[in-house]
Amino acid sequence: MRMRPTLSWTPTEDLRPGTTNLEPVAEALSTGGVLVLSGAGISTESGIPDYRGKGGSLTRHTPMTYQDFTASAQARRRYWARSHLGWRTFGRARPNAGHRAVAAFARHGLLSGVITQNVDGLHQAAGSQGVVELHGSLDRVVCLSCGAFSPRRELARRLEEANPGFEPVAAGINPDGDADITDEQAADFRVLPCIICGGILKPDVVFFGETVPPQRVEYCRKLVREATSLLVLGSSLTVMSGLRFVRQAAQAEKQVLIVNQDPTRGDQHAHTRVALPLGTALTTVADQLRIPVDDRAPRHSGTGTGVCGASAPPAPAPSS
């Protein structure tokens, strides 16, 4: 039986309504030392839907779990067929105004770091450096047997050659990069093994039912300890992987600010929640701080660039 991901949460107390006042966000950024924690909501303006917002993908789509992926060849065929098709669109996504504003804040020395729950690489494509990819990146592939890493574009090329004419019509794209197609459409898709040992290949992302590597969690906790405040962008904070950092910041009496149109599970710990679209909100703050936002951000390269990617090879920041 497939595990159903957490779809929602029920508030245990009355939460303050969101505001449109951006002054607390601008003030926090002006003092510097702000740690950004971003979620799927920051990428919706790039054409990638979120999980739990209005029309979110979890209303129609159950993401693959780690348990299903490792236990079933049929599940892996379904996943790779959907993911290969989705990658053609997902890999062409471009940073939006929200990503570019975050990169601009960093260039001007206002941020202490960026943690993202997203696997799309759009923060890096917008120019952000040293992004911690909490849940990994779709740009990388890892072998579950020998541990070898390889670029996703390399596997995409191999899959194209192994599946000529694979052009099913998808109903949509999901935040984890796979496309909505039926099991029948995926039935004849050919899955490829690791070219080194013949083992099972998996995207270098944290699936539902899988845990974030402890070393990466501890590195993120260190970033929270060193930050002056925490700015959450586009995350419902429904799952613990992001909520724990909000709780940590609140317990340390650091200011927590959230920009998300819908209520979040972290609202009770926040000083304020701004209920505005992220692109509009962040570019407005940049204007208030007289920081230019470059609208000519680099194109998405399709290569992993996060220094703390999921199970990534050694890099300057701690990694698994």
Annotated binding-site members for NAD(+)? 39-59, 117-120, 234-236, 278
By annotation, the residues acting in catalysis are 135
What would the 3-class secondary structure string for the chain be? Answer: CCCCCCCCCCCCCCCCCCECCCHHHHHHHHHCCEEEEECHHHHHHHCCCCCCCCCCHHHCCCCCEHHHHHHCHHHHHHHHHHHHHHHHHHCCCCCCHHHHHHHHHHHCCCEEEEEECCCCCHHHHCCCCCCEECCEEEEEEEECCCCCEEEHHHHHHHHHHHCCCCCCCCCCECCCCCECCCHHHHCCCCCCCCCCCCCCEEEEECCECCCCCHHHHHHHHHHHHHCCEEEEECCCCCCHHHHHHHHHHHHCCCEEEEECCCCCCCHHHCCEEECCCHHHHHHHHHHHCCCCCCCCCCCCCCCCCCCCCCCCCCCCCCCC
